[in-house]
């Protein structure tokens, strides 16, 4: 479908619309066909395995919908090697709640975490950052439940440290990272002194930042993060605050 055009728009019911088509080269002639279809949204189930998808042709927008069961924090995340850009809309498919490039996702994937109402339908639109390319990705929706680690989880807190402007001290209880070692997901919990929060980061052993999530200044951190795309090795989790950085670590296994 090279060099063909595609438009995806939200349109009103019982309304006539007109489409004008021209060739890119005004001196050329050529044949083509055109069709109009309802770009229905694919239904996502909360906490179900990720749904595989692809952007093709270039410039395409994929639509999804999901319904919440209870009120609370939900995360919508893409995974894969494509550079995705994601939008979250209210039930009218028009009111934009949030959008994200790769600021909160692993590598170039997008992630949106939002507090949503119970029993409501939400829509998600996904496109690639570059409108001239195609690519595969997967998408899933999870409910961010609060669950403390049990015996099968290993605390990262004993290895954590707090770096202040004028001193350094250990924090043995505030930061939890589990499971550790991890294969596909980790949960990060931090609920101590919830003031002046800035962001959550994952840093590789070589010092490369592979994940960033911006935090509300008083946000309690209870995040499940997909790390399946990361290579095996040692990683550091950083909770960045205005006056200090809380750091823990975990091991990613294949």
Distance, in Å, from the CA atom of 170 to the CA atom of 212, rounded to the nearest integer, reads 23
The model's pLDDT over 15-51, given as tens digits with 9 standing for 90+, comes to: 899 999 999 888 999 998 898 866 678 999 998 888 9
For the chain, domain boundaries: 42-143, 157-252
pLDDT of residue 123: 95
Provide DSSP, 1-32: -TT---------TT---------SSTT-----
Structure tokens, 139: 């998408």
Please name the CATH architecture into which domain 42-143 falls.
Answer: Sandwich (2.60)
Asked: is 157-252 a CATH 3.40.630.30 domain? The reply is no
Which whole number is the average pLDDT over 231-253?
88
pTM of the model: 0.50
The model's pLDDT over 106-126, given as tens digits with 9 standing for 90+, comes to: 567 888 988 899 899 999 999
Residue 84: band (very low, low, confident or very high) from pLDDT cuts 50, 70, 90: very high
pLDDT of residue 113: 87
In this structure, the number of other CB atoms found within 10 A of the CB of residue 118 comes to 10
């Amino acid at each position: 479908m090279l060099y063909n055009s595609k438009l995806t728009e939200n349109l009103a019911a019982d309304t006539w619309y007109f489409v004008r088509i021209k060739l890119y080269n005004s001196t050329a002639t050529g044949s083509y066909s055109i069709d109009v279809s309802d770009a229905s949204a694919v239904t996502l189930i909360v906490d179900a395995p990720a749904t595989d998808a692809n952007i093709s042709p270039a410039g395409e927008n994929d639509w999804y919908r999901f319904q919440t069961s209870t009120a609370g924090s939900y995360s919508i995340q893409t995974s894969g090697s494509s550079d995705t850009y994601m939008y979250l809309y209210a039930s009218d498919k028009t009111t934009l709640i949030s959008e994200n490039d790769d600021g909160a996702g692993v590598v170039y994937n997008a992630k949106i975490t939002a507090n949503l109402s119970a029993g409501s339908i939400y829509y998600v639109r996904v496109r690639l950052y570059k409108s001239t390319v195609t690519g595969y990705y997967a998408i899933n929706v999870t409910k961010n439940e609060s669950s403390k680690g049990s015996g099968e989880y290993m605390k990262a807190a004993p290895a954590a440290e707090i770096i202040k402007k004028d001193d350094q001290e250990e924090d043995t209880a505030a930061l939890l990272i589990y499971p550790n070692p991890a294969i596909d997901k980790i949960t990060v919990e931090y609920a101590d002194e919830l003031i002046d929060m800035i962001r959550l980061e994952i840093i590789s052993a070589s010092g490369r930042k592979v994940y960033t999530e911006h935090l509300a200044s008083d946000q309690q951190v209870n995040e499940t993060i997909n790390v399946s795309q990361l290579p095996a090795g040692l990683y550091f989790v950083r909770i960045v605050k205005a006056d200090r950085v809380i750091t823990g670590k975990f091991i990613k296994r294949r």
